[in-house]
Amino acid sequence: MKTLLIGGTHGDEPIGVRTLQNLEQKRADFDWVIGNPRALEEQKRFTEADLNRSAPGNLRSGIYEERRAAELIRLSNKYEQTIDLHGTTKSTGLFIIITNPTCENLELATQLDVKRVVIWPAITPDLEGPVSEFFPCGLEIECGPKDASVTQTELERVLGRFLDGESGTCEQEIYEVYGELRGDPGQVLQEFQEVTIQGETFSPLLIGTYEDAYGVTCYKLKRTSFEEYL
């Protein structure tokens, strides 16, 4: 097998696991694992620490998620590409997250029939430690709303096309996370819809998702291109 797919890196995001279980019934040309089986069983984001903030991890750590991060990274070294599946309550549709914009990861993104690609480096401490940053070749797919059947159907379609070797057909929009908005924006925000606040124009991402945990109203996006990273 050349492709590893991961679902349930966050235990409250079972959309990836459900999708991979469905795909497994139809085809046998990929491997997959549950990222955080303990958290998935308990139906919560994590048990001791956020797995997607624990990389590169430590196989000898006393914290489960730190051990699991190291295990997943080691496993990814056996594959040509690894895709980590996530879910959000926000109405974002599917979008790709590239935490490490290498040539290999950018090329992988073009092979997926997903319109929006977000390059998301760890620009602040609250973003450090995603497991995909340490895959030899890999990225994340974020899906929202995560509990909508149409979202799961679209994720299954995208993964099926990818595994069939069919390149993406849509013209991709490339964004980069460059900052955070904190506090009351003074206006209604919509995912990926450009706004201007205090003279700054940007597109908001994951509005309110990390407000309680990190005090972030939303992340700020700017349009870019793959050529900027080549």
**DSSP state string for 142-193:** EEESTT-HHHHHHHHHHHHHHHTTPPP-SPPEEEEEEEEE-S--SS---TT-
pLDDT tens, position by position, 51-110: 999 999 999 999 999 999 999 999 999 999 999 999 999 999 999 999 999 999 999 999
> What global pTM score does this model have?
0.97
Cα 176 to its chain centre, rounded Å, is 14
HSE-CB of 92 using CA atoms within 13 angstroms: 29
> Mean pLDDT across the chain, nearest whole number?
96
Going 81 to 96 to 102 to 108, the CA torsion angle's sign is: positive
Record: fold of 3-173: Aminopeptidase (3.40.630)
Q: How far apart are CA 213 and CA 136, in angstroms?
A: 29
Q: What is the pLDDT along the chain (230 residues), one digit of tens a residue?
A: 799 999 999 999 999 999 999 999 999 999 999 999 999 999 999 999 999 999 999 999 999 999 999 999 999 999 999 999 999 999 999 999 999 999 999 999 999 999 999 999 988 888 899 999 999 999 999 999 999 999 999 999 999 999 999 877 789 999 999 999 999 999 999 999 999 999 999 999 999 999 998 999 999 999 999 999 87
Task: List own/partner pairs for 127-130 with CB under 8 A and 24 or more apart.
Answer: 127/53, 127/177, 128/53, 129/50, 129/52, 129/53, 129/54, 129/55, 129/56, 129/69, 130/52, 130/53, 130/55, 130/99
